């Protein structure tokens, strides 16, 4: 879900919109990480694991951008993975 991309370009996103998108991305990253563990156990191809890892990194980068836009240090919230 991309809350900020649907916002009007002439207005900054509200705090509620940012919080909602941050929460959504946190759920997405957690889910992707859990699924990656399941995929590994099931023996999927290396290429599939790499593709899944790229998606995890994309979501983490977006999350770090949003957290940074709130004036917070991403590593303080996300750990060194950010």
Least confident window among 3-7, 11-15, 60-64, 70-74: 3-7
Whether 45 is covered by a domain: the verdict is yes
How far is it, in rounded angstroms, from Cα 32 to Cα 26? 10
Domain count, the chain: 1
Q: Model pTM? A: 0.67
Whether 81 is covered by a domain: the verdict is no
Q: What is the pLDDT of residues 8-67, one digit of tens each?
A: 555 667 888 888 999 999 999 999 999 999 999 999 999 999 999 999 999 999 999 888
Residue 65's domain comprises 14-70
- Judge whether residue 3 has pLDDT over 50: no
How far is it, in rounded angstroms, from Cα 65 to Cα 76? 13
Per-residue pLDDT at 16 = 84
């Amino acid at each position: 879900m991309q809350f900020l991309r649907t916002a009007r370009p002439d207005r900054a996103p509200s705090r509620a919109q940012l919080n909602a998108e941050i929460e959504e991305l946190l759920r997405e990253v957690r889910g992707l990480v859990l699924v990656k563990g399941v995929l590994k156990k099931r023996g999927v191809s290396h290429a599939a694991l790499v593709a899944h890892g790229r998606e995890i990194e994309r979501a983490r980068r977006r999350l770090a951008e949003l957290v940074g836009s709130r004036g917070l240090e991403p590593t303080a919230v996300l750990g060194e993975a950010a």
